[in-house]
Structure 1
Amino acid sequence: MGASHPPRIVAAAWGLLVLNTLGSTGAQTILPLPRSLIQMVTMGALAAAFALALAANLRLHVRASVFLFLLTLLLVPSVISSASLESGWGALFRCARLALFVGTLWLLSRWWDGGLAFVRHHIRMYLAVLATVAAGVLLSPATAFPDLYGGRLVGALWPLTPPQIGQYAAVVVGLTVLLVLGRRTDRASAAVVLVPALVLLALTHTRTATFGLLLGLLLAIGSLVLSSAAARRFFGWTVVCAAVAAVGFGSALQTWFLRGQSQEHFTSLTGRAKVWDALLAAPRTAFEHLFGAGLGDKSFGGLPIDNSWLAVYHEQGVTGVTLVAAVILVLGGVALLRPPSLARACAIFLIGYCAIASYTEAGLGDASPYLLHLAVAASLLAAPGAAASGPVSSPENTRQGVVPRRAHGSEVG
């Protein structure tokens, strides 16, 4: 197999993993899509991703990492708790999905070499998803801004909720900004990505994604300030613009931030706190406390949990919470020990974003976009040139930017 062929397969496999994690429930679409059909597409995408990753890595050369080891260990409490069938046969099905998901990451780890290839794959795949959202707005504005979601932007072609769209847009914006600072893409090309993504993020009125983007970028750019003049300039201008926006557009920002909610509704985190209190107050056996009730749909009492830590506690117990916390701490610790670089900054952004979003979004304990974000971070923190199969030379490793750039540059650090 040629050296340039596997990366193209890897890009396709990554895109299929993204498709698998889009979910099967959400807003009403222009053309009604049966949930069974969507599930067939998403599960078929996961099976195809595994097949492509296996075809690209027939010799099963993998890159061992603590991140993948901990994700594999997470399968243990998942299977133990799901085997009781307290959450039904669907729990075992979700365990099989998680196992296939983690297995695909193991196969793709052969190309985790500290480079930016997976950052580019990530941006392009989520740009494709955002393009479907924008197309839905053009085709049917009424469907894209339904009253059911308070006029917030949803997916009109694929059933995506406002928090999902906000998450994808925030990650695309954050990574693209860092590529610009690292001179891996020119500003004109980046603007084609940034402007639409920021508009879509604003239309979702998603506070979690906005906070995650701002704080994640603050951490990432802060890691570059001492080694990059571009990062220092961007940081300075950001502070100035933030101050001007706070003074000149404070009222408009407050209106956007509150989304028409009452103060009581806002302080209860849009009703999430009531679900969290009920979940924590529910009686549990020692077994459930340790291993959880089995993989489910991240809900309690018919309402979404919307907190990764409580969702993991409910479904995989204290054991699962410990493993997920270890994932975040290990990745964060490794990132802090790496010298300043663009790859490190991108990893810090993704880790920071996932940690911030985990408070009001579920997904860290199951196959989800959040685990894909952390997988990209793990690929960025891998030691350069030490991949199991040796350095892989391909156009993906030398291409500049999200799209072909017009000026040459070098990595920060």
Structure 2
Amino acid sequence: MRTDHTSKMVGTAWGLLILNTLGSAGAKTIVPLPRSLIQMVTMGALVAAFALALAANLRLRFRASSYVFLLTLLLVPSVISSAHLESGFGALFRCARLALFVATLWLLSRWWDGSFTFVRHHIRVYFVVLGSVAAGLVMSPGAAMPELYGGRLVGALWPLTPPQIGQYAAVIIGLTVLLLLGRRTDRASAAFVIVPSLVLLALTHTRTATLGLVVGLVLAIGSLVLTSSAARRFFTWTVVLATVAAVALGSLLQAWFLRGQTKENFSSLTGRAKVWDALLAAPRTTSEQLFGVGLGDKSFGGLPIDNSWLAVYNEQGLIGVVLVGTTIVVLGGVALLRPPSLQRACAIFLISYCAIASYTEAGLGDASPYLLHLALAAALLAAPAEAANLAPPDVPRRRVPRWARRAEVS
């Protein structure tokens, strides 16, 4: 009973971390939600996640994790740059949020043992989030696909942008496909998740999420090809179907991919390149180059940066870029050194997806879904705990009386 209760607390804490990273800015909802209320809910979720993780891990037992250690080091340039208040007092608030986020991951690392427990939590919670998007689409198609976003799907019940929805859909599709190949779920359950998620992904017209899903699955399934006949069959049929689709539906796929944009707009990545050039050309002091200007809203000149590496450079400087790059390299290196397994394949998918998305999405330097995806990869790559350490930390060891020990000796 105690173990089941602890598992529920851990799963709830993970779900609350996901709720915290949903954000407070996005499309207009059917029922207007004040941004202050949304921020109160998301921050309350983070505090509750920390409290639950602490209650489940009162003895403060952690698993050694280079990933969480590097995130802890990332706090140093974040605090140093934010202390100058160039980004206002909000920078210190974001530092406190990141510190609480990392502390919660440390507490939850106690249960990172290479199992699929957190994978299932990940899929279930994000599927519920996508369920709210689907419900908003049914309730008000106009609000869910507004002209402001070019008719792309947004969150009509909770303010979610098309890239967010595309990211959540792509991640749970990829993980579910891999669980199906590894026979960790049945076809009916997999279809229940994959089919509606694919529809929502298509309605978002999110190119980054689609590309990340395809490349991530290719790399992940490729790591299983030599050891799994199911992976080989899936890989072969996928290549055949993709070739047929490219020939038969080439024009439709091209139209979906371009989203009605001109070649000039497409080549500048929907205007992102102009913001990137301006950010790199802006004068900076030596301190700003090393530590950044402090945690902000991932924008420059009032426009979103939409690039994790440039956002980290702007807010946490070159030191932050080195730490984030080291994090990706370490996780990727550990994944490559592991023997072929389903856990390794899932981790490769998550790492490659985050690496691809980092080019057009920000989030690797602050509390975000991308850090949770990488935390899940770290949990999958963790070595299985020893049998002696698998017992709940709150269960005391059984004391053997002296007379019993004497009897055993005799």
Smaller-chain TM-score range? over 0.9
Shift of 1:4: 2.0
- Rounded to whole Å, the distance in 2 between the matches of 1:245 and 1:209 is 19
Contact 1:78 1:291 in 2 (8 A): yes
| 1:390 aligns to 2:389 (yes or no) | yes
Using the TM superposition, give the Cα deviation of residue 155 of structure 1 relative to its aligned residue in structure 2, in angstroms: 0.1
Q: Which residue of 2 aligns with 1:240?
A: 240
Quick one: distance in 2 between partners of 1:379 and 1:106? 11
CA distance in 1 between counterparts of 2:100 and 2:237 reads 45
Q: Secondary structure at the match of 1:3?
A: helix
Q: Which residue of 1 aligns with 2:401?
A: none
Q: Paired residue for 2:34?
A: 34
Q: Is the contact between residue 290 and residue 319 of structure 1 (CA under 8 Å) also seen in structure 2?
A: yes
Return the alpha-carbon distance in structure 2 between the equivalents of residues 241 and 353 of structure 1.
Answer: 22
| Structure 1 residues 133 and 179: alpha-carbon distance in aligned structure 2, compared to 1, 3 A threshold | same
2:249 is the counterpart of 1:249 = yes
| 1:304-315 map, 5 Å | 304-315=304-315
1:81 is matched with which residue?
81
SS of residue in 2 equivalent to 1:4: helix
Return the offset for 1:2: 1.5
Q: Deviations over 1:248-299 (max 9, x none)?
A: 0001000100000000000000000000000000000000000000000000
Q: Are the structure 2 counterparts of residues 392 and 267 from structure 1 closer, same or farther at C-alpha, using a change threshold of 3 Å?
A: farther
Give the superposition deviation at 1:188: 1.3
Q: CA deviation at 1:392?
A: 4.9
Counterpart code for 1:109 = S
Q: TM-score, normalised by structure 1?
A: 0.94
- Distance in structure 2 (CA, Å) of the matches to 1:278 and 1:35: 29
Q: Secondary structure at the match of 2:2?
A: coil
**What is the identity, as a one-letter code, of the residue corresponding to 2:171?**
V
Residue equivalent to 2:48: 48
Distance 1:251 1:66 in 2: 46
1:362 and 1:157 map into 2 onto residues whose CA distance is 23
**C-alpha displacement at 1:64, in angstroms?**
1.7
Q: What do you get for the CA RMSD once the two structures are aligned? A: 1.0
State whether residues 205 and 256 of structure 1, in contact with CA within 8 Å, keep that contact through their aligned partners in structure 2. Answer: yes
Q: Distance in 1 between matches of 2:43 and 2:386?
A: 32
Q: Give the fraction of aligned pairs with identical amino acids, expressed as a percent.
A: 79
Residues 145 and 315 of structure 1: is their aligned pair in 2 closer, same or farther, counting only changes over 3 Å? Answer: same
Tell me which residue corresponds to 1:294.
294
Structure 2 match to 1:115: 115
Shift of 1:65: 1.1
One-letter amino acid of the counterpart of residue 9, structure 2: I
Q: What is the TM-score with the length of structure 2 in the denominator?
A: 0.95
> Structure 1's 386 and 65: CA in aligned 2 closer, same or farther, altered over 3 A?
farther
How far 1:391 sits from its partner (Å)? 1.8
Deviation for aligned residue 1:5: 1.7
- Compared CA separation, residues 392 and 163, structure 1 to 2 (3 A): farther
The one-letter code matched in structure 1 to 2:390 is P
SS in 1 for 2:238: helix
The DSSP-based 3-state class of the residue aligned with 2:295 is coil
Can you give the 5+ residue segments of structure 2 that lack an aligned partner in the other structure? 393-410
1:333 maps to amino acid: G
SS of equivalent to 1:134 = helix
Larger RCO: 1 or 2 (CA < 8 Å, sep 6+): 1
**In the alignment, which residue of structure 2 is the partner of 1:181?**
181
Kindly provide the CA deviation profile for residues 23-49 of structure 1, in whole angstroms up to 9, marking residues without a partner as x.
000000000000000000000000000
Partners in 2 of 1:390 and 1:266 — Cα distance? Answer: 53
Q: Superposition pairs for residues 148-227 of structure 1, below 5 Å?
A: 148-227=148-227
Match of 2:31, SS state, is coil
Q: Could you say which residue in structure 2 is the equivalent of 1:303?
A: 303
TM superposition shift of 1:390: 1.2
Kindly provide the CA deviation profile for residues 83-114 of structure 1, in whole angstroms up to 9, marking residues without a partner as x.
Answer: 00000000000000000000000000000001
Partner of 1:155, secondary structure, is coil
SS of aligned partner of 1:16: helix
Q: CA offset at residue 385 of structure 1?
A: 2.0
- What displacement does 1:7 show? 1.1
Q: For residue 396 of structure 1, what is the aligned residue in structure 2? A: none
Distance 1:112 1:231 in 2: 26
| Residues 292, 313 of structure 1: 8 Å contact kept | yes
CA distance in 2, matches of 1:315, 1:177: 36
Distance in 2 between residues matched to 1:92 and 1:187, nearest whole Å? 47
Cα distance in structure 2, aligned partners of 1:92 and 1:68:
20
Tell me the number of residue pairs that the alignment of Structure 1 and Structure 2 aligns: 392
DSSP 3-state at the match of 2:30:
coil
**Aligned AA (1:27):** A
Tell me if the contact between 1:113 and 1:386 (Cα under 8 Å) persists in the aligned partners.
no
CA distance in 1 between partners of 2:65 and 2:164 (Å): 28
CA displacement, residues 309-362 of structure 1 (integer Å, 9 cap, x when unaligned) = 000000000000000001000000000000000000000000000000000000
Query: What per-residue deviation string (whole Å, max 9, x for no partner) do you get for residues 370-400 of structure 1?
Result: 000000000000001249x71258xxxxxxx
